[in-house]
């Protein structure tokens, strides 16, 4: 049966140069795997002014419930210095038991394995009593505007409803069976601009250096800690990621300085309460640390980046137990249930149904010579196949 071999599936996907936002043939390759299994396929083009057009794919097998969604992305990050790769980034070469290629683990490998798992399930048991769908975007590594969010809206508008979702991102730090993601921290970003008065560095009394202000304000954002963590999440953490003055002259006090920051936050906060806390810290620092003694408070502007990612935690026992049980049955390891790491498209899916994440080992994602152990492709396929059987059994209870 077509698609039953995860190695062949992944080889076909890697050979498609789908560097975001290009489709690169990857969705066409996936469609060729799923159509013979009985899936109905829709290719959905999403557009928005100022962003690249993105082609996405939605495939469904079955018409009734319960309905299990598998979500992921076929777009990949750029290859970087191609001459530094020991095997071509789109060659899918196998050497020493590993397949090389951009997207091997992030996350064409997960898609290849889930397609193989569905094919094996059908081969052994027939189509499940319910529905399985693939929600696959080409915009996860890009702006994430014309991808999963638009595809979810399109599908929901035509009546699609889901009972659970598995995202195939590479969640395992060291070996398969290490970790299932059952939630994600929120993410909030912003940029502070401090306004000073430009002048000669030798005559500071005639100027106001915004550099002094930006240092005070950024320090206030980083200390004290925002919280000590919660039962399910590590402590919230803010990082200042840039400080810029755009000043090329060492004897000129600049007129303004800016700093950007990102905070990954736990369920102590939501976006609104966190914004209020950040503004309060900045206002205090601005009042207490003028650019020079006797001068007015620091003048600053704060611009928030659009669309913060909201913290979430999945509590669906049937979904978590089905996946944990499948991992342990195949690998003999009990996976850690975690909320660590960055964001993923699960942050959009959680508004439609319970969602968890589990995929390959992520040690080489986004790196030169991204690669996956061929043995892991077979193991992950077995985990996914076991999960499909267990989830449909639990969901029917």
How far is it, in rounded angstroms, from Cα 252 to Cα 209? Answer: 10
| Residue (of 72, 99, 80, 76) closest to 24 by Cα position | 76
Whole-angstrom distance between the N-terminal and C-terminal Cα of the chain?
30
Q: Count CB atoms within 10 A of the CB of residue 4.
A: 18
Instruction: Report DSSP state, residue 153.
Output: H
Are residues 71 and 135 in contact, defined by beta-carbon separation less than 8 angstroms?
A: yes
Are residues 173 and 179 in contact, defined by beta-carbon separation less than 8 angstroms?
A: yes
- Catalytic-residue membership of 139: no
Considering only CA atoms, give the Rg of the chain: 24
How far is it, in rounded angstroms, from Cα 359 to Cα 284? Answer: 45
| Residue (of 26, 32, 7, 39) closest to 139 by Cα position | 26
Query: Which one from 23, 55, 75, 376 is the annotated catalytic residue?
Result: 75
HSE (CB half, 13 Å, CA atoms) of 347?
A: 19
- Catalytic-residue membership of 75: yes
| Residue (of 298, 303, 301, 302) closest to 209 by Cα position | 298
How far is it, in rounded angstroms, from Cα 199 to Cα 58? Answer: 59
Query: Which one from 5, 106, 140, 169 is the annotated catalytic residue?
Result: 140
Active site residues: 75, 140
């Amino acid at each position: 049966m077509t698609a039953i071999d995860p190695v062949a599936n992944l080889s076909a996907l890697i050979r498609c140069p789908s560097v975001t936002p290009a489709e690169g043939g990857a969705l066409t390759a996936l469609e060729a795997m799923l159509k013979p299994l009985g899936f109905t396929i829709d290719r959905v083009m999403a557009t928005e002014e100022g962003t690249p057009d993105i082609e996405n794919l939605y495939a469904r097998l079955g018409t009734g419930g319960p309905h299990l969604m598998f979500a992921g992305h076929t777009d990949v990050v750029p290859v970087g210095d191609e001459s530094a790769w020991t095997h071509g980034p789109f060659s899918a070469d196998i050497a020493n038991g590993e397949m090389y290629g951009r997207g091997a683990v992030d996350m064409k490998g997960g898609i290849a394995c889930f397609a193989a798992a569905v094919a094996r399930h059908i081969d052994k048991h027939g189509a499940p009593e319910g529905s399985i769908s693939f929600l696959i975007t080409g915009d996860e590594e890009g702006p994430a505007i014309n991808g999963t969010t638009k595809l979810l809206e399109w599908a929901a508008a035509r009546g699609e409803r889901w009972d659970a979702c598995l995202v195939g991102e590479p969640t395992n730090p060291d070996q398969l069976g290490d970790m299932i993601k059952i939630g994600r921290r929120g993410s909030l970003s912003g940029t502070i601009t401090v306004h000073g008065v430009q002048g000669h560095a030798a005559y500071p009394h005639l100027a106001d250096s915004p550099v002094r202000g930006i240092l005070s304000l950024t320090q206030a954002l980083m200390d004290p800690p925002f919280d000590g963590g919660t039962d399910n999440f590590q402590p919230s953490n803010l990082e200042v990621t840039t400080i810029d003055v755009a000043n090329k002259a060492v004897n000129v006090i600049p007129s303004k300085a800016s700093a950007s920051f990102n905070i990954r936050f736990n369920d102590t906060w939501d976006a609104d309460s966190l914004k209020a806390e950040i503004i309060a810290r900045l206002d205090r620092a601005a009042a207490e640390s003028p650019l020079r003694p006797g001068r007015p408070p620091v003048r600053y502007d704060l611009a928030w980046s659009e669309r913060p990612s909201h913290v979430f935690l999945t509590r669906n026992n049937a979904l978590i137990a089905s996946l944990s049980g499948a991992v342990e049955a195949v690998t003999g390891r009990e996976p850690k249930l975690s909320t660590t790491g960055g964001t993923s498209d699960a942050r959009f899916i959680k508004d439609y149904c319970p969602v968890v994440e589990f995929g390959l080992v992520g040690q080489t994602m986004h790196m030169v010579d991204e690669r996956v152990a061929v043995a892991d492709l077979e193991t992950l396929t077995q985990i996914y196949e076991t999960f499909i059987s267990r989830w449909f059994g639990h969901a029917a209870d």
